[in-house]
Amino acid sequence: MKIGVAYYPEHWDRSLWEKDADRMLATGVKLVRLAEFAWCRLEPREGEFDFTWLDEAIALFAARGMEVVLCTPTSCPPMWLYEKHPEIVHVEKDGTPTRLGIRSHRCVSNPVFLRYADRITKKMALHYANEPAVVGWQIDNELEAYQCYCGHCIAGYREWLKAKYGTVENLNRAYGNVVWSGEYTSWTQITPPYGSLPHAWQNPAYMLDFYRFCSDNVVAFSNRQAAQLRRLCPGRPVTTNVWFCGHMPDFYRQFADLDFISYDNYPATRLPQDGESCYSHAFHLDMMRGVKRKPFWIMEQLSGGKGCWMPMEKPPQPGMIKGYALQAFAHGADTVVHFRWRTAAIGAEMHWHGLLDHSDVPGRRFEEFADLCRTAQTLSDVQGADIRSDVAILFGFENEYAFQIQPQTEGYYYLEQLQRLHRAFTALGLNVDVIGQHEPLEGYRIVCAPEMYVASPGVSERLTAFADQGGTVILTARSGVKDAHNNACMSQLPGVYRQLAGVHAVEYVPIGWDSIPLQFEDGTRLDARQWCDVLEPDTAQVLARYAGDYFAGAAAVTKNRYGKGTVYYIGTVGTQPVYDRIAAGAAEEAALPMIPGLPERVELCTRTKGESTVRFLFNNDQQPKRFTLEGQEMTLAPFEMKILRG
Ligand code: GAL
């Protein structure tokens, strides 16, 4: 397993380079990531390329046996390019071109920008094609599906719609444009959505297509670079680094033609108090692995206190640097690249701390990092090992977009129930995959399909077949609500899932921040929040009923037999124990190898290679933990990872 660092030779005096390379080698760094913002040094003037400094830096690392991941620098076009072609910038919704001064100002569909981006990419690819130290490429940096309103994006949007609908009449029908006299009579009348927030004033069908288009735009950009890199610098895997941001492209589409996924992982250094969100890092890592269902990389990993984009925060607590990198390995990463080797002394990010402080004196964090490097070297047996999961949770970007477009009720957000289900199964010591809703379901025993809001081809059919053949499906409210255009389906909910769930809602009641008691058959009382489907079973058995409000006594949670399988329907957004209960019941019925009694915030992940397994037992807490695991006394220090082979 490899540990790497992000390094910016262009920021440092040359006298430091060799010292840094020596220290990296001595520390156990295996890989260095370079150049993602360095366009102005690689092409200092139009058409004048200078790779000598980068060659020199690469040579220093290569001489010490370290590998290099090179990044295309297209996230930061140089100032001469903006001066010559001010039209390459991203345009805001109000028509204002983005003001220069930070980074990533460019529009990734502007043809002039693309011409220059292609050229620097090709030059780099050719220049390093015969450099064996270069083992892979990162495209750009944290590409987001920004909503750009420049002329090219508007024209591109119209073309995208033409390709999808053929005629404006088809489009009018698909969007229901008769409402508020929105019918187009020509393509030229179509604009991106200019209306102000909330989005809910705008046609949801039209909005969802715009989100899809913005995502496709950025995917086209990264595929374009990938094609050049592969052609001119063959044999090097290509990726791009992503994070959970406000403008996420559809990762499943974005990575379909890239070799592996890489994720920028910055866990919070102040732990959540509620205990409910403390498994969210694990969720994000499982989701990243699920994008390609393959081992992945962390391209940027927490190294020091965060700051600069916000006032400074606490640095990582003792144990976090090592623990969070090993946690990523446990969940399927096989390379973790720390951001960054040294803390910047210049530029906007001087308070986003790296492993070494400004003083250059190795401190507590650095020592812990060195310890991590030593541990990583003992994990070669885990390299490429699988994570076999009996449980999957389905995710769909169209649902994510549609919920952003039309918030359902106060406090409701899409990921919450996915995370609660994930936490419930993780707490049982089970591996959990978070996968795209179009992935095949063979091999799973339990598939959680929360909030299947927007219809997507084949999904309900596959879930139905899965249950029919003996699988367990967990469905929730807000399923079967929309057709593929994001228009409401005219059937009793959960619409296409009704037969599978064996239940229907006679009414739904968004309750926002209120809560209503839920009473389970054994008398246990828990809480329902945000949303209440008032359910009437068709064939399902009732597991819990509402115990408050005018619909007290109505079914809230049900269980149905479908074919050889079982289908749970959670008609509300419960507190965590609701999901824990259902997960435990479903896992027990499916005879999954649960590890009961893991303390809260302790995670167990199993990676398998052939017949051998490696178990990672992680304490994601600042408190030590003492417990018994399969008859053995265990103690875990704060953020400690125990690696158990067997
Ligand atoms: C990432 C980004 C890096 C750096 C880091 C810390 O999102 O890719 O370039 O900015 O955050 O702010």
- The string of pLDDT tens digits covering residues 469-497 is 999 999 999 999 999 999 999 999 999 99
The dihedral of CA 271, 275, 277, 280: what is its sign? positive
Output the pLDDT for position 198. Answer: 64
* Ligand 1, atom nearest to 309 Cα: 12
Q: How far is the CA of 14 from the centre of ligand 1 (A)?
A: 24
Phi, psi of 401 (to 5 degrees): -65, -45
Of 142, 244, 247, the residue with max ligand 1 atoms within 8 A of its CB, to mutate for a pocket test, comes to 142
User: How far apart, in whole angstroms, are the C-alpha atoms of residue 221 and residue 142?
Assistant: 13
Closest CA to 393 of 421, 429, 430, 427: 421
Of 245, 269, 339, the residue with max ligand 1 atoms within 8 A of its CB, to mutate for a pocket test, comes to 339
300 as an active site residue: the answer is: yes
CA angle (555, 557, 561) in 5-degree steps? 105
Which residues' Cβ are closer than 6 Å to ligand 1?
141-142, 243, 264, 300, 309, 339, 349, 352
Q: How far is the CA of 490 from the centre of ligand 1 (A)?
A: 45
Rg for the chain (alpha carbons), in Å? 26
First to last CA, the chain: 19
* Burial bucket for residue 144 (CB in 10 Å: 0-12, 13-18, 19+): middle
C-alpha distance from residue 104 to each of 39, 74, 88, 228 (Å)? 12, 8, 11, 21
DSSP state of 186: S
> Which phi-psi region, left, alpha or beta, contains residue 427 (left: φ > 0; alpha: ψ -120 to 50)?
alpha
Provide the 3-class DSSP secondary structure of residue 511. strand
* Ligand 1, atom nearest to 141 Cα: 8
Residue nearest atom 1 of ligand 1, based on CA coordinates: 264
Q: Collect the ranges in the chain with pLDDT lower than 50.
A: none
User: How far apart, in whole angstroms, are the C-alpha atoms of residue 461 and residue 565?
Assistant: 14
Q: Are strands 134-138 and 503-520 parallel, antiparallel or unpaired?
A: unpaired
Q: How far is the CA of 103 from the centre of ligand 1 (A)?
A: 11
Q: How far is the CA of 213 from the centre of ligand 1 (A)?
A: 25
Residue nearest atom 9 of ligand 1, based on CA coordinates: 141
Strand order from edge to edge, sheet including 612-619: 602-609, 612-619, 641-645
Q: How far is the CA of 372 from the centre of ligand 1 (A)?
A: 22
DSSP state of 309: S
- Alpha helices for 77-130 (secondary structure H): 79-84, 111-127
Tokens found for residue 301: 């990993």
Q: Are strands 241-242 and 262-265 parallel, antiparallel or unpaired?
A: parallel
Output the pLDDT for position 281. Answer: 92
Q: How far is the CA of 301 from the centre of ligand 1 (A)?
A: 10
Residue nearest atom 10 of ligand 1, based on CA coordinates: 349
User: How far apart, in whole angstroms, are the C-alpha atoms of residue 382 and residue 188?
Assistant: 56
Output the pLDDT for position 273. Answer: 78
Q: How many CA atoms lie within 13 A of 392 on its CB side?
A: 26
Output the pLDDT for position 57. Answer: 98
Q: How far is the CA of 353 from the centre of ligand 1 (A)?
A: 11
Residue nearest atom 12 of ligand 1, based on CA coordinates: 352
Closest CA to 55 of 64, 65, 68, 45: 68
Q: Quick check: 549 and 528 in contact, CB under 8 A?
A: no
> Which run of H or E residues covers position 57?
helix 52-63
Q: Which of 92, 142, 144, 367 is catalytic?
A: 142
Q: Which of 36, 43, 300, 603 is catalytic?
A: 300
Q: Which residue matches tokens 């329907």?
A: 569
Contacts of 252 (CB under 8 A, 6+ apart): 291, 397, 436, 438
368 as an active site residue: the answer is: no
Output the pLDDT for position 197. Answer: 66
Of 241, 269, 349, the residue with max ligand 1 atoms within 8 A of its CB, to mutate for a pocket test, comes to 349
The dihedral of CA 117, 120, 125, 126: what is its sign? positive
